[in-house]
Structure 1
C-alpha cells in the first residue's frame, strides 16, 4: 500500500471503497502497532475558501456530537478522531471485528419472528440514544449493522451526519423514505429504514432485491404490500412494521420509544392500560379492596367536579394536539379522557380520527364503532368509519356507513366523495360519478372530486368531459401537479401529443421529481423522434431514482427505436438485475437479440418470460416468430395458437388477427412469410 501516513501516523492497510465522494480505508496507527481503524475520506463539494471555512466548522461540530454518542451506548461505532489534510476531511472510526447483517439476510431463507423482534429491539434502543442527541443516522441498512464478534451484539456504524456536513447525500434508495429523498429528514426516517430491514429479514430478501417492494404498493393508499399467503407473520408484529414504513412520515411512529413500547406488548403480553384502569375502578365500586375507607367512597360519589374538569382538560388538550398535527400526543390525551369518562362519544370519535391519521385503520374503525354505539345519531362517526373501512378494503361496509352519514347530514360533501371512491373500487361507475358530482355541487372549491371524476370519465372514454374536470382543478389550484399530469394522460390518448407534452412539462415544473411525468414525456419525445430530449428525460428519472425499473425499460425501447440494439440490451439487462421476474424486460430484450441475429438468446428470453407468466401472449407470439424462422413448424403453430387464444381473451383484436394469420401461413406453406414480425409493448402505467 501507499507509504504516505495519513495525519502523520495512520498507515493504509486496505482500500475498502473508492468512490466519487471519497475513499474508505482500513488503517493501522503506527504509534500503536497491531491496532486497526476505519478511516473515511470526505471530499468537500467546493474548494472556495469561504465555503471551506463554513465546512470546517460544520464538520467539527458534527464530529464532536458523534464522539459524545460513544460514551452513551456501547453499540454505537466509536469516532476516534477527525482531521483535515490538503483541504480534504477525514474521520477515524473504530474497527469492529464481526459480520454485517447482510450475511444474515439470505435469499429465500427468512429469519424467524423472534430474531426480527430482537433485531428491531436492539437497533431501536440505539436510536433512542442517538435521537436524544439530535442525531439522525440517515443510512440504516443491513450493511451498516454489524454483528460484533466478541459478544454477538448488533452495532450501528457509518453515521450519515458527517457525510451531510460535506453535502454528500445517501445513495441507497432501497431503504430511504421519500421525505429524506426530498431533503426533509425526520427522526422517523430512521424508523422507516429499519422497518424495511425488518421486512427484508422476514422475506429473506437481500439488498439487491429490495427494489421489488417499490412495485408492490397498494394502488389506493400507496403503502408497501409485503405480506403474502405463504408468509405467516404474527398480526401484531406485522401491524408494527406496517406503521414503521408508512409512506407519509406523519402516519408513522414518531419516536423509537413508541415502537419499543409496542414491541414489548408482544413479547411481555402487557395488559392494556384501560383494562387495568377498569379493574381498579371495579375494585373501588364493589368494595373488594378492604383498605378503601368510607370517606374515600363518599368523596368519589359526592364530588364529581374534579373528575369532570380533568376529563374536559384531557379531551381539549387532545383536540388541540390533533389540530396541531401531533396525532400521537392526541391519542395519549384522549386515552386519559376516555379513562375518566368511558361514555364520551366525542373522545372516541376524535381518537378514531387521530388513529386514522396515524394509519392504524383497524383502531380507527373500532373507535368509530364505539362512538356510534354511544351516539347512533353522530353522522361524523359513520363518515369516519366509512373511510377506515375503505382503507381496509371493505368497500361495501364503507358504502353502508356513508349512506348513514348522508342520511343524518345530507350536506356533507366529503361523505359523497368517500362513497364515490368506494363505488369506484366496486366498479359502480355511474354511482361514483353521481357521488363526485354531488360533492362538487355541495363544495365547488373542493378539488379532489373533480380529479377523481376526471380519471373515471377518462376510463369510460368520456375524454372531453375528463379534460374539463382537470381544467377546473387547475383553475382552482394552478399548482396542482397531479391535475396537469392527468390532463396530459388524457391529451395523449386523444392523440394531442404536443398538448400532452406541455401538461407534463407543467407538472414537472411544479414538482421537479415527478417521475411519472418525466417517463410519459420521454415516451412522447421518443415517438416524435426527439432523440436527445427523450434520453434526457429517462436519464433524469434514473438520477432521481436509480432503481426505477420502468425507466430502463422505456429507455431500452427508445434506444431500440433508432437501432441501438446493444444499448437496449444493456437497459433491459439492468432492469432484470433489479427484478429478475420482469416479463417486459425479457420480451423486449429477446426482440433486440433477434435484431442482432442471436436467435438462441432471443428464444431463451421469450421462454423465460413464459416461465414467469404462462399467460403472456406477447412471449408466445414472439417465440412463435423464432420457431417459424427456425422452421419448427408445429412448435411455431402451437405458440401462435396459444398467443391467439390469450389475445382474444384480453380483447386485443389486431394482435389476435395477426396470430391467426401466422397460423394460416404456416399451415399453407412450408416456410414463414417474410413479413412475420415479433411484437412488443411498453410497460403500462396507471
Structure 2
C-alpha cells in the first residue's frame, strides 16, 4: 500500500498534528477528487489481542455517538467513516473551512464584551446537545473552535471522546480543571475550559500565556484572579465567568443551560437599558423635557437613603468575595458595612448567605431574621431563613418561612421546593408532593423537585411513578448521578436487578467516586452470584475511603454468602475498630462465628448488640438460635418472644412469623427439629 494513502483511498495532503496521542491529517478521497477531510489517528498503548478486542468495541461505540452528534447539530463536524489499519484506529470527519479562534485572540487585542458573549452563547448551545447525549468534549480550547468561512458561525471540533477508550495521556492543561486532570471528569469540566477561553479573549491573551493566568490565584480561596483593575468588564459578565471557572466543580455552573440562562438575562438587561436610553433621547428631541423632569423627580423619591462610597465599595467587595467562594472574607466585609450602617437589610441578607455557606446555620438564621425585621417585605430573607431553619432541624419554623416567602412571591418555585423538603421531613407526604408539583409547574426544567418527588413516591410504593420522575430528571440533565442512583434503587425493589445494575453503572461512569452507587451495585452483583464483580466494587469503595464502615459490613455479608466465614469476620472486626458500637457488625460477626462452630463467641456478639441497642430484634432472634443449640429452652423462648414483639412493632411481618414459628417448635417438645430455621441467624446491613 502507498504510504501516502490511508485505507487505500485517503491521500495525505498535509500533516496537521503529530503528537503523543496520534497524528491528524488533511486528506483527499481519491474516489471523489477535490473532496477534503480530516483523518485522525488514535494511538493506543497495547497490542495485546484481548486488549485490542476491547478497544475495537469501545472505538465502535464512541464512533457511533460522534456520528449521531454530527447528524444532530450543524456546528459539529460530521463523521464520515472510521477504520482500523495495522492495529491503529482512525476516524474521518468533514473538513471545516475556516480559521481557528486562535487567529482572533491576538496578544494585547482583547475582544469586546459583546463578542465574548456571542462566543460563549454559540459554544454553550452546542454543549447543551453534546451533554444531553452523555458526551463530554474534554478538549475545549481556541484551536478547537473554528470560525466557519461559509457563514461566520463557530464550529466545535476535535472531540476528546476517544481519549478514555484509547489513551490515558493528559494534555491541554492550560484549559483543564483540576478534577479532569485527576481523572474525575465532569460535564462542567467543559464549562470551566470555555470560561478560561472567554477570559483569555477578554484579556487579549494568546494560548501561550494562559498558564500565567491560571497561576494568578487568590491565596485563600484558590480562585483565579483575572479581572484586574485596568480591565473594564461588566460586573454581571464577570460574575458569570467567575462561576464558570470555580476551582471546585461543585461551586461551578452544573449545566450549560444555566450559563445560557444567565447570559440571556444579561443581554436582556442591556437591551432594556439601551431602550430606556433611546426613549429618553426621543423625549428630549421632541421637546417634552417636562416629562423627563417629572419622571426623574419620581425616581429620586423612590431611592433609598444615599450610601457612602466607602459602604458601597465594602459591600461590592463582600459580594465579589462571596462569588469567588471566599465566604470568610465576605463576612468580614459585610461586618464593616453593617458597622457603618446598622439598618442595611441587604448586608444582613448577604452576610447570612455567607454564614450558611460556612455551615454556621445559627448565625445565618439570625442574620436573615434581622433582614426581615428591617424589611418585612423581603421574600428572599424568609426564603433564606427557611433553609437555615431546615438545616437546624426546625422544620415547622422553616415551613412558616417558606409560606411567607410564597405569599410575597407566589411564583418562587424554589420556595415551594424548600417547603416540600421540610414537609417530607415531617412525614406530611401528601402536602410535600403537592409542593413539589407546584415547583414543577412553575419551573418545568428544574430537576430537584422531580428527584425528591420520585423518592417520596418510592417510599409510598408508587414505584412506576417514581421511575417516571427519575426518567424526567435524566432527560433534563443526562449527567445527574443522583437520578440514576435513585432509579437504580427503585429498579432493585421492583426485582429488576439488571436494570438496577445499569443505572448504578451509569452513575459511576459519570462520577467514578460515587461510593453509594458502588455499594449498591456490589450488593446486586452479590445477589446475582457474581463473586468477583461484587468484591471489586466493595474494594473500590475502600480504596476511595478506607474508613467507610458500610463497605466492610457489605463485603463481610458477601464473603459470608459464599462460605468465606473467616474473611467475613475480618471485615466485621475492621468495622468495629472504626465504630465499636456498630450493632450490624456484632450481629453479622456472631453469624459467622456460629457457622465456624464458635457458639461462645457468637453468643457474646449477639449479647453485645443487645447491650448497645435493647430494641434490636435481630440480635434477640439470633441469640435465640444460639440458646436453642445450647439446649437453653427457656432462654431461647424468651429471646424469640422479645424478637417477635419488636418485629411486630417494626412492621417486619415475615420475621415476626419466623420468630413465632420458633417459639411454637420449642414449646412443642414432640415436634421434629425445624428444617427451615436460619441456623446462622439473620444478617443485618447498615
Tell me the TM-score normalised to structure 1 length. Answer: 0.55
CA shift in 2, pair 1:672/1:606, >3 Å: farther
**Structure 1 residue 670, shift from structure 2 partner:** 6.0
Counterpart of 2:519 in structure 1 is 519
Q: CA deviation at 1:525?
A: 0.6
Shift of 1:377: 1.1
Q: How big is the shift at 1:577?
A: 2.1
Cα distance between partner residues in 2 of 1:517 and 1:567: 23
Tell me what 2:614 maps to.
614
CA contact (8 A) 2:591 2:683 kept: no
Tell me what 1:236 maps to.
none
Alignment of 1:287-326 (within 5 A): 308-326=308-326
| 1:503–1:400 distance in 2 versus 1, CA, 3 Å | same
Counterpart Cα distance in 2 of 1:514 and 1:320: 32
**Within 2, Cα distance between the matches of 1:584 and 1:461?**
26
Local SS of the residue matching 1:325 = coil
Residue 450 of structure 1: aligned partner: 450
Q: How many Å apart are 1:640 and its aligned residue?
A: 0.9
Q: Which residue of 2 aligns with 1:329?
A: 329
In 2, distance between residues paired with 1:663 and 1:456?
Answer: 37
> Match of 1:202?
none
8 Å CA contact retained: 1:628, 1:672: no
How far does residue 643 in structure 1 lie from its aligned partner after superposition?
0.9
Offset of residue 311 of structure 1: 2.0
What is the aligned partner in structure 2 of residue 419 from structure 1? Answer: 419
Residue 570 of structure 1 deviates from its aligned partner by: 1.9
Residues 187, 523 of structure 1: alpha-carbon distance in 2 compared, 3 angstrom cutoff = farther
Q: Using the alignment, how far apart are the partners of 1:612 and 1:636 within structure 2? A: 20
CA contact (8 A) 1:488 1:500 kept: yes
Residue in 2 that maps onto 1:652: 652
Deviation of 1:422 (Å): 0.9
> What is aligned with 2:371?
371
Q: 1:472 to 1:182 in 2, by over 3 A?
A: closer
Q: CA deviation at 1:188?
A: 8.3
Partner residue, 1:540: 540
Residues in 2 aligned to 1:503 and 1:392: alpha-carbon distance in whole angstroms: 33
Query: Which residue is 1:667 aligned to?
Result: 667
Structure 1 residues 682 and 506: CA distance shift in structure 2, 3 A: farther
Q: Does 1:389 align with 2:398?
A: no
Match of 1:677 in 2: 678
> Structure 2 vs 1, CA of residues 598 and 438 (structure 1 numbering), >3 Å: closer, same or farther?
same
Equivalent-residue separation in structure 2 for 1:349 and 1:634 (angstroms): 65
Offset at residue 426 of structure 1 (A): 1.0
Residue 571 of structure 1 aligns to a residue whose secondary structure is: helix
Indicate conservation of the 8 Å contact 2:220/2:326, yes or no.
no
Kept in 2, the 8 Å contact 1:345–1:375? The answer is yes
SS at match of 1:343: coil
Partner Cα separation in structure 2 for residue 654 and residue 567 of structure 1: 29
Supply the distance in 1 between the matched residues of 2:595 and 2:498 (Cα, whole angstroms): 31
Q: What is the DSSP-based 3-state SS (H/G/I as helix, E as strand, rest coil) of the residue aligned with 2:402?
A: helix
Deviations 1:191-236 (A, max 9, x none): xxxxxxxxxxxxxxxxxxxxxxxxxxxxxxxxxxxxxxxxxxxxxx
What is the match of residue 553 of structure 2? 553
CA–CA distance in structure 1, aligned partners of residues 307 and 474 of structure 2: 51
Separation in structure 1 between the aligned mates of residue 529 and residue 219 of structure 2, nearest angstrom: 46
Report the counterpart of residue 569 of structure 1 in structure 2. Answer: 569
Q: 1:682 to 1:627 in 2, by over 3 A?
A: closer
Give the aligned partner of residue 627 of structure 1. Answer: 627
Query: What residue number does 1:637 align with?
Result: 637
Deviates more, 1:570-579 or 1:432-441: 570-579
Within 5 Å, which residues of 2 pair with 1:580-595?
580-595=580-595
Contact 1:647 1:655 in 2 (8 A): yes
The Cα of 1:485 is off from its aligned counterpart by: 0.6
For 1:617 and 1:682, locate their aligned partners in 2 and report how far apart those are by CA, in whole Å: 10
CA deviations on 1:256-282 (whole Å, 9 max, x unpaired) are xxxxxxxxxxxxxxxxxxxxxxxxxxx
Partner SS for 1:410? coil
C-alpha distance 319-574 of structure 1, shift in aligned 2 (>3 A)? closer
Tell whether the 8 Å contact from 1:315 to 1:333 is kept in structure 2 after alignment.
Answer: yes
Match of 2:462 in 1: 462
1:270-281 equivalences under 5 Å are none
Over 3 Å counting, the alpha-carbon distance change for 1:629 and 1:671 in structure 2 is farther
RMSD: 2.9
Aligned position for 2:528: 528
Tell me what 2:347 maps to: 347
1: CA distance, partners of 2:414 / 2:458: 22
- Structure 2: tracts of 5 or more residues without a match: 1-180, 190-216, 222-247, 252-303
C-alpha separation between the residues in 2 aligned to 1:597 and 1:558? 20
Distance 2:354 2:546 in 1: 36
Distance 1:402 1:313 in 2: 32
- 8 Å Cα contact 2:665/2:674 also seen in 1: no
What's the counterpart of residue 289 of structure 2? none
User: Shift of residue 627 of structure 1?
Assistant: 1.3
Unaligned stretches of 5+ residues in structure 1:
1-178, 190-246, 251-303
Q: Could you tell me how far apart the structure 2 residues matched to 1:494 and 1:423 are?
A: 26
Structure-2 separation of matches of 1:546 and 1:460: 35
Written as runs of structure 1 = structure 2, the 5 A alignment for 1:94-243 is none
1:89-114 per-residue CA deviation (whole Å, 9 max, x = no partner) reads xxxxxxxxxxxxxxxxxxxxxxxxxx
Cα separation, 2, equivalents of 1:321 and 1:552? 42
Q: CA deviation at 1:187?
A: 8.2
Counterpart-to-counterpart distance in 1, 2:575 and 2:321: 46
**8 Å contact kept, 1:629–1:672:** no
How far residue 671 of structure 1 moved from its aligned partner, in angstroms, is 7.5
Distance change in 2, residues 1:600/1:670 (3 Å): farther
CA distance in 2, matches of 1:589, 1:188: 47
